Amino acid sequence: MHSDGILGTKAGASKQRKWLKGRERWLVVLGIILHAVYMLSIFDIYFKSPIVHGMDPVTPRFAAPAKRLVLLVADGLRADKFFEPDAEGNFRAPFLRNIIKTQGRWGVSHARPPTESRPGHVAIIAGFYEDPSAVTKGWKANPVEFDSVFNKSRHTFSYGSPDIVPIFCGGLQHSTWGTYPHEYEDFATDASFLDVWSLDQFRSLLNRSHEDSKLKGLLQQDNLVIFLHLLGCDSNGHAHRPFSSIYLNNVKVVDHVAENVYSLLQDYFKDNRTTYIFTADHGMSDKGSHGDGHPTNTDTPLVVWGAGVKYPRPISSSNHSDCGFRFVDDHVHDAPTPTEWGLQGIERVDVNQADIAPLMSTLLGLPCPVNSVGSLPIDYIDMTKADEVEAVLANTKEILNQFLRKSDIKQSNSLYFKPFKPLSQYSSILDEIEDRILARDYDAAMDLSQNLRSLALQGLHYFQTYDWLMLMSVITLGYVGWMIYLVLHVLQSYTSLPGTIGMEQGGQKNNCGKIYLFGSIVIAILCLLLLLEHSPPLYHAYMIMTSFLWVQIFSEYQFIKALWKLLSGRRNDIIVKLLATTAVSIFILEFLVNSFTERKLYTWCFLITGVTASIYLFKIVPWRSGIPIFVCIACWFLSIFTLMPAEIPDNNQLVVVSGAIIIIIGIGARWLDLHAGGNKYWLSICNCELKRHKFSSLFYLQALLVALSSVMVYLSTTHRTEKRELLAVHQLINWSVAGISMVLPLFSENSLLSRLTSIFLGFAPPFLLLSIGYEAIFYAALALVLMAWILFENTLLNLNIVNTSLDNNKKVKNNLILGLENRSMLLSDVRIPLVFMVLFNIAFFGTGNFASIASFEISSVYRFITIFSPFLMAALLIFKLFIPFMLVICVFSAITKLNKVPRLGCYFLVILFSDVMTIHFFFLVRNTGSWMEIGNSISHFGIMSAQVVFVLLLFALTNTFTKDIQCNTAAKSAQKAN
């Protein structure tokens, strides 16, 4: 009776198999929960919500310069496209440009990523930078309640997008607002009419007031805010790019709206008590997206004029003194104005986007929003020196109140509290400021107020990062514990080690009660301490998860002890192989980590791999087989794509040609499947015993659908470029072709090469219909490399079978799981999950730059839908990303069947390797430096953390296609080969 298999003796095989399946399910569930919990940790550590409640507003001690304020936000308007002239030398915004030169102040408002509409409007209207997680919590309502300028106003009138206006006015009693239907946001049309719609609604409001005395009385009151959200530039930028004539013409439209609003209000009120602010929430990248920290996304125009606003003044060396200051997007203070803007002689006053909120509050004489962290830009306001100091002091007190509230909350909840020492004497500083004001020493009072405001902002940051050290230590120990636990599970469940060291499994623990009891006591004590400090529930989850994992590790102390004894008694060459495998694995994983920021590394990777693999194969297989040459060419072909721009340029012809290439590859694979079965290197791949003729029509149907999808790519894109809407019949054909083609592989023959060829052809039509450029050819190149991987593994398999003696063949058979078709895993099998990791990660680069979600091109979905539908569009984009992954997973599953390796054992190794990268990215998450680096670091950590779910989900999806794949057994292949 053999005992060196995975499951031990035959008598206990059934029981052990049942135990193994139960443990696998438990480990998968534990892994999903752990990664879901730990993924949230970066929001508790790096991006915790800055909002606190319980502060009292600071009542201004100065007269309001304005009676009402108009806020015009041109969504998606870039600063350079607003200020620069067109090709004829004419400026696109003549009215606002005249305002800059004659009536008001101007500058660039620097936005902080994520440069999306919601965070941008929150910064403008509420004065603080919403944490990135808020974007994912909902667009229709506030994920947390916060104060805003609208809340403080007597009444707010607002018109614009249904995605923005309800966020700020939906729950506001003292507001009058309106939005257009979502159906108006059609990317197939010129969206500038949306801006005109907002203007018409406001004009209609003023006209109604002549007949409605109640409305007229409301408009005559003070502390009014009028907010017009102008979405045209954003929609046209997405659909047509910011260099298009439609987008550039939209700049003229928003200028026209601003001019009309100004004329309407000047004629209506005739009191010169209205202030006007024109700005944007974010810009627009050259490819028509936004979200990251590129200057085209963070630099937005700001023009302010009217009551309480200073007039233009020429630039002088004494205008600014804080030249070392940097804005929230890491741009330097006093950046030079581009020459083409033609505004070098007029003083430019740049601000952080959050500074606009205290500016609006000051102009209206309202308290600053209680959560605001913006600094009042005094270069914009036209007030007496005494009122300027009072305004800055009110701004300072509002920020100081937030600091004091956070300090009180942390002190009341901490068993050992560490205060922020620089502000321990804040009350004496406030007293000194008041004394300076009474003495009319306004310059000193201003300096003290601004210094106190700077310290208060530093104090807010101190308490924002108060728990960092504790949380990072717990999360790190948790990841390390999870990886050790995975290694123990793989060694116990999928290798022959338990039989070798003579240990039984199946949940038979040896006196582990004391360990569990001690672990439970430790967990209870830690949770009690967290409870006394009123820590959030997730803190408890982090601590419990980490402690639980280490208790599980200590409970395996007998297996660990026996394993150590076995290794210490082995020859040195075994230890050297183990260390070498570990070193190579870490090198490859670190290579993958660096490839996230330098994608060209993949070019060198596949160039070197192609040469190395072909040289190795030349030594063991005849050159006439063509396998070494094919592997080299496939790797070199794929290496080209990571040299191409991450932002995929439109190339409709390339997508159509890709369809032809895919069909040619399918024909080649089909020919090999039918005629190469007699070659011993193809025995396991081509099952000659299956009848294929009845499946020929299915292959022709799949090739026809690929050709039809190429035709539809051409027709659909042609209609859109001619400014025509997507035809309903085109839309129906595209959806039908994509849906039918993905079902057909289920009816293909189940030999390895046949089924994988069918899957390749089945997912080609939807991928082509979602492609805009070179990524369509990438799909074909990736398939060729996956085929090369299969050939390489099949060659190694046949080499091992032919070269082994009869005794070794028996040993291979004895290593099979009794009752199943899998053998125990060997150290050399680590290559399979490592190769999978490389291919799985490069699959991202074929469909976009995964440094930022904003880099995925939204026009990819226009052949299926053009009416704005964020959830459906996002689903289509994600599905496009999943298609290359599904190819890699299908081939991975086929290779595990080919090698008789437990697929779940390889899956756990994939997760282990992913988590090595995850913990590296966890320490690379940044909240300082440029915001592009910060956004990238978040994306990298999130992508790797989610791989446990991605891979598992794709395993489940692809299992439908791969579960019945058949390969010739090793014994049968050996007989045929001999």
| CATH code, 287 | 3.40.720.10
Please check whether residues 594 and 623 belong to one and the same domain: yes
Residue 555 lies in a domain: yes
Per-residue pLDDT, 333: 62
Residue 820 lies in a domain: no
Indicate whether 138 pLDDT > 80.
no
Residue with tokens 């297989």: 621
| Among candidate residues 535, 569, 603, the one where a domain is terminated | 569
Torsion of the alpha carbons at 714, 719, 720 and 726, rounded to the nearest 10: -100
| Among candidate residues 352, 383, 414, the one where a domain is terminated | 383
Q: How many domains does the chain have?
A: 4
Please check whether residues 145 and 271 belong to one and the same domain: yes
Q: Specify the DSSP class assigned to residue 369.
A: P
How far, rounded to the nearest angstrom, does the alpha carbon of residue 286 sit from its chain's CA centroid?
20
pLDDT for 286-332, tens place per residue?
Answer: 988 888 788 899 999 999 999 999 999 998 655 444 444 667 766 66
Indicate whether 750 pLDDT > 70.
yes
Decide: 70 and 226 in contact? Cβ < 8 Å.
yes
Per-residue pLDDT, 503: 53
Taken as a whole, the chain contains a residue count of 978
Cα separation of 582 and 588, whole Å? 10
pLDDT for 770-800, tens place per residue?
Answer: 888 788 889 999 999 999 999 888 888 877 6
Please check whether residues 459 and 503 belong to one and the same domain: no
Category of 127 on φ-ψ map: left (φ > 0), alpha (ψ -120 to 50) or beta: left
Q: Provide the token pair at 430.
A: 């406030």
Please check whether residues 742 and 625 belong to one and the same domain: yes
Residues 6+ away with beta carbon under 8 Å from 309? 65, 103, 104, 105, 275, 363, 380, 381, 382
Please check whether residues 472 and 426 belong to one and the same domain: no
Give me the domain span that covers residue 404: 392-465
Residue 423 lies in a domain: yes
Q: Could you give phi then psi for residue 751, rounded to 5 degrees?
A: -70, 155
pLDDT for 819-858, tens place per residue?
Answer: 356 778 888 889 999 999 999 988 876 555 544 344 455 6
pLDDT for 448-489, tens place per residue?
Answer: 999 999 999 999 989 888 888 888 999 999 999 999 999 998
| Among candidate residues 436, 465, 494, the one where a domain is terminated | 465
Decide: 278 and 360 in contact? Cβ < 8 Å.
no
How far, rounded to the nearest angstrom, does the alpha carbon of residue 137 sit from its chain's CA centroid?
14
Indicate whether 685 pLDDT > 60.
yes
Residue with tokens 């986007």: 353
Mean pLDDT of the chain: 83
Per-residue pLDDT, 720: 67
Per-residue pLDDT, 731: 82
Decide: 419 and 476 in contact? Cβ < 8 Å.
no
Model confidence at 904, pLDDT cuts 50, 70, 90, reads: confident
H-type alpha helices, 270-384: 295-298, 356-364
Model confidence at 500, pLDDT cuts 50, 70, 90, reads: low
Residue 948 lies in a domain: yes
pLDDT for 92-105, tens place per residue?
Answer: 999 999 999 999 99
Edge-first strand order for the sheet with 224-230 is 175-179, 155-160, 224-230, 68-74, 274-279, 299-306, 105-110, 351-352
Indicate whether 283 pLDDT > 80.
yes
Per-residue pLDDT, 1: 35
Please check whether residues 450 and 472 belong to one and the same domain: no
Residue 842 lies in a domain: yes
pLDDT for 867-880, tens place per residue?
Answer: 767 778 878 887 88
Cα separation of 219 and 68, whole Å? 9
Please check whether residues 461 and 555 belong to one and the same domain: no
pLDDT for 713-739, tens place per residue?
Answer: 888 777 766 656 667 788 888 889 989
Decide: 366 and 152 in contact? Cβ < 8 Å.
yes
Q: Could you give phi then psi for residue 257, rounded to 5 degrees?
A: -60, -45
Residues 6+ away with beta carbon under 8 Å from 717? 652, 863
Please check whether residues 668 and 532 belong to one and the same domain: no
Cα separation of 750 and 673, whole Å? 12
Please check whether residues 430 and 476 belong to one and the same domain: no
What would you measure as the largest C-alpha separation in the chain, in angstroms? Answer: 105
Residues 6+ away with beta carbon under 8 Å from 921? 593, 596, 937, 940, 941, 944
pLDDT for 568-579, tens place per residue?
Answer: 777 677 888 888
Question: To which H or E segment does residue 949 belong?
Answer: helix 947-962
Residues 6+ away with beta carbon under 8 Å from 413? 533, 534, 535
- Lowest mean pLDDT across 29-33, 259-263, 488-492, 965-969: 965-969
Model confidence at 36, pLDDT cuts 50, 70, 90, reads: confident
Count Cβ atoms below 10 Å from residue 77 Cβ, excluding itself: 28
Please check whether residues 535 and 605 belong to one and the same domain: no
Decide: 8 and 505 in contact? Cβ < 8 Å.
yes
Residue 26 lies in a domain: no
Residue 21 lies in a domain: no
Helix axis angle, 947-962 relative to 752-769, nearest 10°?
120
Cα separation of 172 and 713, whole Å? 47
Please check whether residues 798 and 767 belong to one and the same domain: yes
- Lowest mean pLDDT across 158-172, 345-359, 654-668, 866-880: 866-880
Residues 6+ away with beta carbon under 8 Å from 818? 5, 7, 10, 13
Cα separation of 589 and 587, whole Å? 5
Residue 15 lies in a domain: no
Is 301 in a helix, a strand, or coil? strand
Please check whether residues 740 and 841 belong to one and the same domain: yes
